[in-house]
Amino acid sequence: MVKTVNSVSNYNILLSIHDVSPIYEDAIISLYDSLSDIGISSFTLLIPPFYQLKGSNVFEEKDIFVDYLRSLDLEISLHGYSHTTKSGGLDEFKKLTAKRSASRLKSGIAMIRRAFGIRPFGFIPPAWQATKTVLNQVKDVGLKYCVIGNNIHDFKSMKVFSTADYVISQGDGNTSFSDIMLELELGGPLQISIHPLDFKSSYIFVALRDALDRLDYTICGYRDYLRKI
């Protein structure tokens, strides 16, 4: 079935935080506070449940950090499983066999459910890369959407929504949005993802505040955007 692609409305930024993991607890709390300070209250938390295949990065039920994240009432979505490939790459879901991607999706959902008591809402693969097989598997396991590159596949409406561009911060606190500045000025819809360590980057907060205050963008998470359209 060929699906038509609709554009996300202009002047919308879909915002997410990558790599939400216990290892970044302090950074994520700072990031949340900085986003709140500039008036951003909706964004998506992206969790790789077995980040870098380290046991210490697995969320535990009743952990204080889990309670804190739940209390924020933000969308929690699945972001791969370990976020790494055999060769150390980030694009975990790009070349997995169908059997392996299906089992990682199921295990990932189970791990989030065990710790948080809820199922993740949607799926955004590491580096935004996945195969069509993964797309179908995400739908089959009952998650509500899957993002690949510029396309957001919404399984409720069965529509595809696209953005003009997506930008993933480098995660080292030094990200520049120079390549999307023109798009921001034009009002094009964008996906922006920031990393926990970006709490150190005043540049990102200045750019987001500018998008909100001067350019009149609306900034929210994927769930909240899909629910309002």
**Applying CB under 5 A, which residues contact Zn ion?**
18-19, 126
Closest separation between CB of residue 168 and Zn ion, Å?
A: 7
Q: Which is nearer to Zn ion, 126 or 221 (CB)?
A: 126
Residue nearest to Zn ion (CB): 18
Q: Which is nearer to Zn ion, 46 or 115 (CB)?
A: 46
Give, as one character, the DSSP assignment of residue 82. S
Q: What whole-number distance in Å separates Cα of residue 223 and Cα of residue 188? A: 19
Q: What whole-number distance in Å separates Cα of residue 4 and Cα of residue 164? A: 16
Q: Which is nearer to Zn ion, 19 or 154 (CB)?
A: 19
Q: In whole angstroms, how large is the CA radius of gyration of the chain?
A: 17
Q: Which is nearer to Zn ion, 12 or 44 (CB)?
A: 44
Closest separation between CB of residue 127 and Zn ion, Å?
A: 7
Give the H/E segment covering residue 112: helix 98-116
Closest separation between CB of residue 9 and Zn ion, Å?
A: 25
Q: Which is nearer to Zn ion, 10 or 170 (CB)?
A: 170
Pair of tokens at residue 109: 């959902």
Closest separation between CB of residue 47 and Zn ion, Å?
A: 10
Residues found in the chain: 229
Q: C-alpha angle with apex 48: 204 to 177, nearest 5 degrees?
A: 20
Closest separation between CB of residue 181 and Zn ion, Å?
A: 23
Closest separation between CB of residue 46 and Zn ion, Å?
A: 6
**End-to-end CA gap in the chain:** 23
97-103: which pairs have CB atoms within 8 A and are 24 or more residues apart? 98/133, 98/137, 101/130, 101/131, 101/133, 101/134, 101/137, 102/137
Q: Among 101, 77, 79, 76, which Cα is nearest to 90's?
A: 79
Q: Which is nearer to Zn ion, 61 or 194 (CB)?
A: 194
Give, as one character, the DSSP assignment of residue 169. -
Looking up tokens 């290892």, which residue turns up?
23
Closest separation between CB of residue 102 and Zn ion, Å?
A: 21
Q: Which is nearer to Zn ion, 19 or 198 (CB)?
A: 19
